[in-house]
Amino acid sequence: RNAIIFSPHPRAKEATNKAADIVLQAAIAAGAPKDLIGWIDQPSVELSNALMHHPDINLILATGGPGMVKAAYSSGKPAIGVGAGNTPVVIDETADIKRAVASILMSKTFDNGVICASEQSVVVVDSVYDAVRERFAKCGAVILNKKERKAVGGVLLKNGALNAAIVGQSAATIAEIAGIFVPENSKVLIGEVSATDASEPFAHEKLSPTLAMYRAKDFADAVDKAEQLVAMGGIGHTSCLYTDQDNQPERVAYFGQMMKTARILINTPASQGGIGDLYNFKLAPSLTLGCGSWGGNSISENVGPKHLINKKTVAKRAENMLWHKLPKSIYFRRGS
């Protein structure tokens, strides 16, 4: 019992299966059966579907695109699926700009932006927009000009969906694919845009070191833009706010109320913050992040061991005694 079989993404099969083998060898050394952990050497859609429908499979944990998650939920087996992220970040005029920019760049360059909680758009209040823009440029981000932005935007999507060729690639590689030049050590490509709907390539989930940057009139407008971005492609997943959290509790509360996301991060790099435990202790450490009913998922938490086990409860008969202390003497009046 408690066996697991991994069906990795074809482009990540070597790393995934190597990690599974490391865990298997450690488990065997600790006394586990040799076949407790398994994996598919040459994964495919057909093999994944066959695995999900196998009679010995009791639970499916699906991390991937909407098609695969839908297939898991349609398999007839209990399934836990997770949704897409399109994390917006709001930076208001009270935020520590240096910390905000450093955190975003650290998060967005972690694994070249493949973490689904990573920042996809930055929405900046007008009064500090130029300062934030300048700080990004100073710290290694490339602010694309109009021609460059159009070129990069042209390779972000393919047939209306995320272009797999850019996923996890470096900023320089993506620029090369787009036919433009940026320094090899460039950290992130930033496109300054205004549209928050599906017509704007930069408004989508990009899973790469690319960012959209929006100018907002004020805090309320920034939150409104963030709401639109979440609704367009990342509902239920993650959102982030940089503000003076000690002196702006009402803004933290307002942001939390308005965002339809299961993870609402304050002054936190979204990748490391969303996966839990590193920058906060309210989120369980996990790379599988549920989006709840908003995102068509069965859970809205970070998926962990507790979601994968069956619990037994033994309940013995017992009297539900209710006690209260009475005074030493009790007197009753006539007719009481």
The residues annotated with a catalytic role in the active site are: 116
Angle (CA) 58 274 254, round 5°: 120
Cα 304 to Cα 285: distance, rounded to the nearest angstrom: 8
Please report the sign of the dihedral spanned by the C-alpha atoms of residue 272, residue 273, residue 275, residue 279: positive
Q: Which residues pair with 236 in a beta bridge?
A: 261
Burial of 63 (0-12, 13-18, 19+ CB in 10 A): middle
